[in-house]
Amino acid sequence: MDQLSPARPARRTQAERRDESGRSLVEAAIAVVAREGVSAATFDAIGREAGYSRGLATQRFGSKQGLIEAVIRHLHEQQEAALLAHDIDGLPGLEAVLTFVDVYLRGLSGERGGRAYFMLLSAAVADVAELRVAFADEHSRIEQRLEALVRKGQAEGAIRREIDADAAALMIGSLLFGLSMQLLVDPQLNLDPIRETSLATLRLSFGTEGRP
């Protein structure tokens, strides 16, 4: 009887290897920043953390700007995956707004990616650096999405029509931003009661239920 030879694992393509090394380097950058701070995130340290050379880290990112943009893209993809898992675009507007806030705040606790993001943001703002542009673009994207969800809720009659949707989106974004920064200052902060209070307050102030 012929013996079947064990199947050989398929060889990865160059693009697959590049994608894998890129993800590893971004995750290593997040780990270094979250653990040791922004100043520790040199290309040498990132390369060592990921098990690659400084040369590869430099090649992938090119500059601190490239590093931050890569981290933002990575965290954006993670956030989008979490929102997709909750079918946020299929929810009624008010419930979608509350789900967005709930998912965001649940993800902050014990999530080193968010910690690294806001540590990088703080450094960029403090230095009055051009790096702020990358963060401004990301925050604008979040506000636009929240504004669209508020307008959806207003069209459905679940969110009060007199509310300024743009101002509401900015207010929610500021709430999330402020709590994220507070968590940097006090890593032991218990976000659960704050999250529950925030959701209850938003539902009460935005919603039309029970109003004349």
Q: Which of 197, 136, 206 is nearest to 164 (CA)?
A: 206
- DSSP state at residue 130: T
pLDDT at position 1, please?
Answer: 45
In this prediction, residues 115-127 reach a mean pLDDT of 74
Other Cβ atoms closer than 10 A to 113: 20
In this prediction, residues 38-43 reach a mean pLDDT of 84
Write out pLDDT tens, residues 185-207. 887 888 899 999 999 999 999 99
Question: Distance between CA 172 and CA 187 in Å, rounded?
Answer: 21
Question: Distance between CA 93 and CA 147 in Å, rounded?
Answer: 10
The share of the chain scoring above pLDDT 70, in percent, equals 85
On whether the CB atoms of residues 94 and 102 are closer than 8 A, the answer is no
What residues have CB less than 8 Å from 111, skipping those under 6 apart? none
In this prediction, residues 122-144 reach a mean pLDDT of 76
Confidence band, pLDDT 50/70/90 cuts, at residue 53: confident
At residue 67, φ and ψ (nearest 5 deg) are: -60, -50
pLDDT at position 151, please?
Answer: 97
pLDDT at position 7, please?
Answer: 53
On whether the CB atoms of residues 52 and 94 are closer than 8 A, the answer is no
Helices and strands (H, E) in the chain, number of each type:
9, 0
